[in-house]
Amino acid sequence: MQESFLSALKEVEPDVCITAAYGNILPQKFLDIPSCGTVNIHPSLLPLYRGAAPVQRALQDGVAETGVSLAYTVRALDAGPVIACERFSVDECIKAPELLSMLFHLGSKLLINELPSILDGSAKDKAQPQDDSKATLAPKLNSEESWLSFDEEAKVLHNKVRAFAGWPGTRAKLQLINQNSVPDVLEIKVISTKVSTSCVKVGDENEILFSGSSLLIPCSGSTWLEVLELQLPGKKVTKAQDFWNGLRGQKLMKLP
């Protein structure tokens, strides 16, 4: 952080500073400037999911509940005393961008409600220290994590699609077999999915089927992932039914 910025901030003499979705640990020189401290809106129930990707990692874990925390900023990763928090029930269909927006909306309302106590200093008296022994980490996503492996159960893959929506997205490699039985590798981006509740396997255990409006991909533990929308390289997002119609009788398989 540049000294010129810190010098300018000091001249402003802020009572409080607010951070949200800030990926770095602030220097002590910054933290010493606002008289009432620096407060962070963090989209998790601290000390759970400290780090850069709390919403994505929570969805990846398939949590039924998460939330947002208002906490003082200290010289450690999302480890400051918690002023207040708001719980939020997670719908199994919600994706990371939507959930992130909802949690920051809740966090903004939480901040407005707590701002008087932050400014008069009483928030510091009621803020609860975090139990570091219960802390979990939410490391930054990377593009290499985006690949789906159908050796995992459908629920795990569905949660990953929800968590990685937006960036980096989720990708999969399938085997396309033409009418002459010549195989080729087809890479797709998986946009939206759900877990099939009823599917009975017939024929080849690696064959990808189509039913209703979904591609049905066999996964571990006799589970099935329904792919509702997908995207081919360089193409627009398409419905599974339109993609299936475009195959024109070619067979789709999991890679051996």
Each residue's pLDDT, cut to its tens digit, for the chain (256 residues) gives 789 999 999 999 999 999 999 888 999 999 999 999 999 999 999 999 999 999 999 999 999 999 999 999 999 999 999 999 999 999 999 999 999 999 999 999 999 999 999 999 999 999 999 999 999 999 999 999 999 999 999 999 999 999 999 999 999 999 999 988 899 999 999 999 999 977 666 668 899 999 989 999 999 998 999 999 999 999 999 999 999 999 998 999 998 7
The phi and psi torsions of 9 (rounded to 5 degrees) equal -65, -40
Which residues are CB-neighbours of 19 under 8 A, at least 6 positions away?
26, 38, 39, 40, 41, 73
pLDDT (0 to 100) of residue 114: 98
Which residues are CB-neighbours of 144 under 8 A, at least 6 positions away?
none
pLDDT (0 to 100) of residue 201: 63
pTM over 0.75: yes
Interatomic CA distance for residues 211 and 203, integer angstroms: 15
Strands 38-42 and 17-20: parallel
pLDDT (0 to 100) of residue 202: 62
Interatomic CA distance for residues 120 and 172, integer angstroms: 54
pLDDT (0 to 100) of residue 20: 95
Query: Which residue segments constitute the domains of the chain, with CATH numbers given?
Result: 3-134 (3.40.50.170), 143-254 (3.10.25.10)
Contact between 41 and 111 under an 8 Å Cβ cutoff? The reply is yes
- Token pair of 178, please? 């033409």
Burial of 215 (0-12, 13-18, 19+ CB in 10 A): buried
